[in-house]
Structure 1
Amino acid sequence: MHEGQLSVTAETVRGLVDAQFPRWRGLPIRRVDGAGTVNAIFRIGAGLVARLPLRGGEVDATWRELRAEQAAARELAGRTGFPTPEPVALGEPGAGYPLPWAVQTWLRGVVATEQDPGGSVAFAHDLAAFIGAVRAIDTRGRTFDGHGRGGELRTHDRWLATCFERSAGLLDVPVLRRMWDRMRELPRGTAADVMNHGDLIPGNVLVSDGRLTGVIDVGGAGPADPALDLVGAWHLLDPGPRRVLRDRLDCDDRTWERGRAWAFQQAMGLVWYYAETNPVMSRTGRRTLDRIAQDIPG
Structure 2
Amino acid sequence: LWRTALVLPEPSAPHVWLHGDLKPTNLLVREGKLHAVIDFGALSVGFPDAEHATVWDLPPRARQAYWNALDLDEPTWTRARAWAIAVAVSGISYYWHTYPAFVAECRARLEAVLADAAAR
Q: Distance in 2 between matches of 1:210 and 1:199?
A: 21
8 Å CA contact 1:227, 1:255 repeated in 2 = yes
Provide the rounded CA distance (Å) in 1 between the counterparts of 2:26 and 2:34: 11
- 8 Å CA contact 2:13–2:47 kept in 1: the answer is yes
Q: How does 1:24-43 map to 2 (within 5 A)?
A: none
**Of 249, 268, 291, the match for 2:70:** 249
User: Gaps (5+ residues) in structure 2?
Assistant: none
- Paired AA for residue 197 in structure 1: H
Match of 1:267 among 84, 88, 95: 88
One-letter code aligned to 1:226: P
Q: Which runs of 4+ in 1 moved over 4 A?
A: 207-211
CA RMSD of aligned residues (A): 2.1
Aligned partner of 2:39 in structure 1 is 217
Name the counterpart of 2:50: 228
Q: Give the total of aligned pairs.
A: 118
Deviation at 1:216, TM superposition (A): 1.4
In 2 relative to 1, CA 220–277 (structure 1 residues): closer, same or farther, beyond 3 Å? closer
Whether the 8 Å CA contact 1:200–1:229 is kept in 2: the answer is yes
Shift of 1:208: 5.9
* 2:48 aligned counterpart, secondary structure: coil
Indicate yes or no: 2:26 matched with 1:204: yes
For the residues of structure 1 that align with 2:95 and 2:30, how far apart are their CA atoms? Answer: 27
Counterpart for residue 181 of structure 1 = 3
In the alignment, the residues of structure 1 paired with residue 18 and residue 110 of structure 2 have an alpha-carbon distance, to the nearest angstrom, of 22
Q: 1:294 corresponds to which residue?
A: 115
Letter in 2 for 1:221: L
- Residues 11 and 47, structure 2, Cα contact 8 Å, conserved in 1: no
**Which has the larger Rg?**
1
Query: TM-score normalized by structure 2?
Result: 0.82
Task: Give CA deviations for 1:163-209 in whole Å, capped at 9, x if unaligned.
Answer: xxxxxxxxxxxxxxxx3222322321422112221112344233467
Change (3 A) 1:248 1:294: same
Identity %: 36
Contact 2:18–2:45 (8 Å) recurs in 1: yes
Matched AA of 1:293 = L
User: Which residue is equivalent to 1:15?
Assistant: none
C-alpha distance in 1, partners of 2:25/2:101?
A: 9
- TM value normalised by structure 1: 0.36
By how many angstroms is 1:222 displaced?
3.7
Change (3 A) 1:249 1:198: same
8 Å contact kept, 1:229–1:259: yes
Query: Structure 1: 5+ residue runs without aligned partners?
Result: 1-178
